[in-house]
Amino acid sequence: MSISLERFGDRWSLLIIRDLMVRGYRTFKEFQESGEGIATNVLTERLRKLQEAGILTAEINQSDMRRVNYRLTEKGIDLAPVMLELLIWAARHEETAAPCVLIDNMEQNRSAVLAEVRRRWSEHDPTPFLPPFNSRNRTSKPRSNS
């Protein structure tokens, strides 16, 4: 547990991994404009740390050589089950912006969800897995566990 938290256990790192994995974000600008309010210097540092940990890579964008695209490594995509469980846990116990029906579907179809996330990663498919919803506007209530 200690090693895992050391590599990716802060809020910003987890949000970057989430955005790469399910929102299809690839660029510094997309992370910065995600609505989470991350400072530029913090984003730069977290991207560097995640690269050094082997969780993501930075690749030069072939259509614009001044741009860098970030991508999860295999080590990074292997965090998908952890991220899915964190998302389900939060929706079950806290108020979140995630639509309940979406979370219920993900909870009932864990294997299919993980297979689709991995397929999109392996095929370099940037299509967002989750629809956009405002993470600042927490409207859904915690769901009961029954």
Rounded Cα distance between 34 and 12, Å, is 11
Secondary structure of residue 56 in the 3-state scheme = strand
Rounded Cα distance between 31 and 139, Å, is 23
Structure tokens at 116: 């689709």
Is residue 129 included in any domain, yes or no?
no
pTM: 0.81
Residue 136 has pLDDT above 70, yes or no: no
Nearest Cα neighbor of 26 from 127, 104, 112, 143 is: 127
Looking at residue 50, its amino acid is: L
Is residue 143 included in any domain, yes or no?
no
Confidence of residue 145 (pLDDT cuts 50, 70, 90): low
CATH number, domain with residue 37: 1.10.10.10
Is residue 39 included in any domain, yes or no?
yes
Domain count, the chain: 1
The mean pLDDT value of the chain amounts to 86
53 or 135, higher pLDDT: 53
Query: What are 47-56's pLDDT values in tens digits?
Result: 999 999 999 9
Range of the domain at 23: 2-122
Is residue 141 included in any domain, yes or no?
no
Query: What are 47-84's pLDDT values in tens digits?
Result: 999 999 999 999 987 777 788 999 999 999 999 999 99
Dihedral Cα 84, 89, 91, 92, nearest 10 deg: 140
Buried b (16+ CB within 10 A) or exposed e, 71-87: ebeeebbebbeebbeeb
Is residue 131 included in any domain, yes or no?
no
28 or 34, higher pLDDT: 28
